[in-house]
Structure 1
Amino acid sequence: MDFDITLILMGLPVAFVLGWLASRMDLRQLRMENRQAPKAYFKGLNFLLNEQQDQAIDAFIEAVQNDPDTSELHFALGNLFRRRGEYERAVRVHEHLLSRGDLSDDDRHRAQHALALDYLKAGLLDRAENALLKLEGTRFEAQARLALLANYERSRDWEHAALVAQKLESSDQGSFKGRLAHYLCEQAATLHAAGQTEQAHALLDKAMETAPEAPRPRMDLASLQAGAGQPAKACATLMAALHAAPGAVGLIAPLLAKQALACGQGETVLHLLQDVYASNRSLDVLDAIVALEAAGTQPGPTAREWYARHLEAEPSLVAAAKWIAGEKLEHEAFHPQVQRALDHAVKPLTRYRCAACGFEAKQHFWQCPGCQAWDSYPARRVEEL
């Protein structure tokens, strides 16, 4: 059979035309897809700006389906799911990103960080810890350590929290000495509850070395000494705390007065607190002075006289209620009702208020139960702020 080159020559133009048509169809399809993806993306962005998150998610899902290789859309979609509390869907999106082989190292670290945040928000602390530890040595290292710190605080893992705080301190991410002192105090409290008093004392000594100006380590140590029947040592520790942290005098004074009376140093501490009160008119200091005066052998101003002096210096409903408690009214039969009304009125004024979130409590907290911030409670009550 002879080979006819004429047929080949005639077929070349046909093949060229078919190839050209096919390429045009591919280009047209590609252009249509490229138009659809940005359109869906901008539509989703518009919904997001208008706080229409449901419609924004639908638009982003459409964009991802049109262009499954677009990592930015995946990140946006995962963040939207997390913000809405749909943590399982957010995890799936970020896990899908991590499974892709074409993802750059930076995007992979970014996806790992986003996945860790998903676990944190969902309360899966163990998974969050594992995800955050994988970010060591990446550009997300500092953020991961801060998240780890919050994670360990939340689970009350003070030992690991201290290790992370030390890393943050050494990497110039700010001062974490105050937090380190709190972690050591928390560990000391656990050891003391377990009967390991010597180890608790050692941790409190370390806490005082870590943050010399912090009042808590010395106050906790004084509590241990008082519990062990050593009021003189407790008194000396509290006086040292007063010198190291004068701003916490409102917290220290009541404890100091109690231990001073127990060890026979009431007069010495009374003169000290009177000097402190002259420059810092704290009601807690005044109450400690009144307690020491009442137990003293030498005559001095009565409680009502002290509260009257305080009222002369500055208005105080709390001091007024304490002053009127010993006052004889013209209609004495109504005194209990009046006193009860005053005591009810001053209750909100005797609370402590978090400076970070405004959470109020009857007692002073080193860590706010509301926002978890450390040292956010001033040592003064609401009326004195």
Structure 2
Amino acid sequence: MEFELWWLLALPITFGLGWLGSRLDLRQWKRESELKRDAPLSYFRGLNFLLTEQQDKAIDAFIEAVTADPNTVDLHFALGNLFRRRGEYERAVRVHQNLLSRNDLPAAERQRAQIALAQDFFKAGLLDRAEAVYTTLAASPYKSEALAALLQIHERTKEWPRAIDIAGQLERLGAGSYGRQIAHYWCELGLQRQQSGDIQGMQEALEQAVQAQPQAVRPWQLRAAIAQQQDNPPQALEHLRHIAQMQPDFTALVALDAARLFQQLGQADAGRAWLLAQLQDYPAIDVLDAVLLLEADASERYHLALSYLQTHKSLLSARRVLDQSSTALSPEPARLALAQAVEGALKTRQRYRCAACGFEARNYTWHCPACQGWETYPPRRTEELQLITP
């Protein structure tokens, strides 16, 4: 074998290429090490900013951490949740969709990303897209959470048959009692049928509501309204009296309607006696108003209002005394000024207050527009509640 001169040149060239390759690998290794070292530091900085309620800086720190280590799933979830809390739903959606686009994402983390994405859509008001994602999760470990969210979506879109079905599924899963909500869903469905002229369908819906929640007040109140529309005051009065017997606290909601029905039937004396008994056992300003409506004697109305004020000292009862004094006594400037002062003080105290979230409404409502709770309003106004709150 002959010796070639170029072999002498190949040896240093090979050595140089090997040295250069090792330097490049060393640089890459150092760069990766620095990134891995920086990622936890950014993560901990982000946590510290969260604890001090500095969300802007926390987001910047988490973005830096995700950039340094894009494979960290928990950082993506933390960043997406922060975007959602700040109302930046589009950015939250992008973060969670980026996670779902990864082929190496484990099944459990994929479902976790799906539930987070559905929450982003729901908060952004994209209910159809949220519904689609939650529906796919109805057979996953997140089934209860997905069904609860679907229930909220069907409430907002007024799809009452679907809401009834979902509530029943949640009840069968042991997620709690949904009888009250189901009764209200049937009532809402009945009102929809009434608007379309299907009175028979409405009555069937109200029957289902009673079966779902036997102690529900609203179906009987709606039944009374139907009876009045059908010119059947005796049956309407029977339904209202059933409410007072079944749920005495709710007599205040139906007292004035009952008084008008007693008048219509020519039974003012019997109605006044019945309402006075209700006022004695379950006092409320609306029941007093119903009694006053049926009392023909002006002096007696004044004494009834005064007697109620003596036992239930509130601005509402004081206002009733002032109202009746205008007929029992001669009008005086001082009395009129006092009535105006009381009325001014009552402007913010004649409302109903949600027991769940504190939201106030001028008129009684079965569904709180703030917390979306059903039947969370006590049937007394805030001024009266202060008298019975221990």
Could you tell me how far apart the structure 1 residues matched to 2:173 and 2:190 are?
A: 26
* Structure 1 residue aligned with 2:379: 379
The whole-number CA distance in structure 2 between the counterparts of 1:3 and 1:185 is 102
Give the structure 1 partner of residue 356 of structure 2: 356
Alignment of 1:91-240 (within 5 A): 91-240=93-242
In structure 2, the partner of 1:250 is 252
Q: SS of the residue aligned with 1:350?
A: coil
Once the two structures are superposed, residues 34-83 of structure 1 have per-residue CA deviations (whole angstroms, 9 ceiling, x without a partner) of 21211121122222222222222222112111211111111111111111
Across the aligned residues of Structure 1 and Structure 2, the Cα RMSD in angstroms comes to 2.7
CA positional deviation for 1:245? 1.5
CA distance in 2, matches of 1:208, 1:46: 53
8 A Cα contact 1:293 1:301, kept in partner? no
**Alpha-carbon separation, structure 2, partners of 1:209 and 1:300:** 45
Name the structure 2 match of 1:370. 370
Residue 319 (structure 1) aligned with residue 317 (structure 2): yes
**Closer/same/farther in 2, CA of residues 3 and 366 from structure 1, 3 Å limit:** farther
* d(CA) in 2 for partners of 1:331, 1:304: 14
1:147 deviates by 1.5
- Distance across 2 between alignment mates of 1:88 and 1:356: 31
User: Are the structure 2 counterparts of residues 333 and 28 from structure 1 closer, same or farther at C-alpha, using a change threshold of 3 Å?
Assistant: closer
Match of 1:338 in 2: 338
CA separation of 1:351 and 1:230: change in aligned 2, threshold 3 A: same
What amino acid is aligned across from residue 303 of structure 2 in structure 1?
E
Deviations 1:196-241 (A, max 9, x none): 1110011011101111111111001111111111111111111112
Q: 1:206 to 1:89 in 2, by over 3 A?
A: same
Look up the match of 1:306: 304
2:289 is equivalent to residue 291 of structure 1: no
Please tell me whether the aligned partners of residues 149 and 165 of structure 1 are also in contact (alpha carbons under 8 angstroms): yes
Distance 1:301 1:243, change over 3 A: farther
Deviation at 1:165, TM superposition (A): 1.0
Distance 2:323 2:28 in 1: 92
Deviations 1:166-190 (A, max 9, x none): 1111111111111111111111111
The TM-score with structure 1 as length reference comes to: 0.89
Give the whole-Å Cα distance in 2 for the aligned partners of 1:332 and 1:64.
77
TM-score (norm 2): 0.88
Equivalent position of 1:33 in the other structure: 35
Displacement of 1:24: 5.5
The Cα of 1:252 is off from its aligned counterpart by 1.9
Structure 2: gaps (5+ residues): 386-390
How high is the sequence identity, in percent, across the aligned residues?
A: 41
Q: Which moved more, 1:113-122 or 1:259-268?
A: 259-268
My pick for the range that moved more, 203-212 or 38-47, is 38-47
Judging changes above 3 Å, is the alpha-carbon distance between structure 1 residues 72 and 267 closer, same or farther for their aligned structure 2 residues? same
Quickly say closer, same or farther: Cα 1:220–1:22, change in 2 above 3 A. same
Question: What's the CA shift for 1:300?
Answer: 10
Contact 2:100 2:113 in 1 (8 A): yes
